[in-house]
Structure 1
Amino acid sequence: MRLTSFTDYGLRMLMRMASAPERGFSTSELADEFGLSRHHLAKIMQRLSGAGIVVTRRGGGGGAMLARGTDEISLGQIVRVLEEGQALVECFAADGGACSISGRCKLKSRLRSAEAAFLADLDRTSLAEVALAPMAELEGAA
């Protein structure tokens, strides 16, 4: 299975936020830290906020924070939110795609099963389990 860069960046961002769940992170701060586009991360943040994974506040002391504890957010939930609308293969698209063997294909059911198994495995892992070590711990280890 291959995840989009949108999901990859979202997972990285959430792993970083999980390393300091009590503080707010600005999109600019995260974009600088990961060397990514602020605009792209803002779109990801908006999707995560809409799904209730993060909350955002404007102004001094604002930024984005996790909406729930890191142990209450599964990787499967995150991937489902960020991959929404991204079909694994063309025939999984809402309109069925333009597959010429649709109706005769035996591969589709196997791919659906594999996709479900992939997400079920991610459901068993919480954000807490993959959170980045706090920066202070990394600096102390050096």
Structure 2
Amino acid sequence: MQLTTHTDYSLRLLIYLAVRDEDMPATVQAAADRYGISANHMAKVAQTLVQYGYIHSQRGRGGGLRLATPASQINIGAVVRRTENLRLLECFGPNSTCPIDPACSLKKILGRAQAAFLEELDGYSLEALVTNDDELRGLLARAS
């Protein structure tokens, strides 16, 4: 399974915010610069994460981005479910036009595989992804 760029950037932004040890909130531009990606894409990702309550965004002087909840309470499986289109095939939607849909073993197998993938991600919090926060912080500092 390949995750979309939006989900990838969502996870990256959450990691970035989780490992920061600065008092001031992070900016979209700083996060984008650290990863070498478009600030426009990162702004869209930040908007999504604000919408789902994972981060807070404050405008104006002294504003920026912060985690809305502790990293230990941000479940990776939940983030992926919210940011990813989990419809692997056309038949995973409500309006399947495939004539073999009711008897398709492939659909059942892919559905179980996807469920196993998400179940594995459910076992991890953002905190688990940043246990090496000193190393991550160093790598992100060098990337700027």
TM-score using structure 2 length? 0.83
Partner of 1:18 in structure 2? 18
Deviates more, 1:15-24 or 1:46-55: 15-24
Partner of 1:62 in structure 2? 63
Q: Residue type of the partner of 2:105?
A: K
Partner of 2:91 in structure 1? 91
What is the CA–CA distance in structure 2 between the aligned matches of 1:68 and 1:35, rounded to whole Å? 26
Deviation by residue 1:51-79 (Cα, 9 ceiling, x = unmatched): 11111100122111111000000110111
Partner of 2:127 in structure 1? 128
Q: Residue type of the partner of 1:32?
A: D
Partner of 2:37 in structure 1? 36
What is the CA–CA distance in structure 1 between the aligned matches of 2:137 and 2:126, rounded to whole Å? 18
Partner of 2:73 in structure 1? 72
Identity %: 37
Residue 130 of structure 1, CA deviation: 0.8
Partner of 1:114 in structure 2? 113
- Structure 1 stretches of 5 or more lacking a match? none
Residue 135 of structure 1, CA deviation: 7.0
TM-score using structure 1 length? 0.85
Alignment RMSD? 2.3
Residue 25 of structure 1, CA deviation: 1.3
Deviates more, 1:85-94 or 1:34-43: 85-94
SS at match of 1:103: helix
Q: Residue type of the partner of 1:4?
A: T
Partner of 2:8 in structure 1? 8
Q: Residue type of the partner of 1:11?
A: L
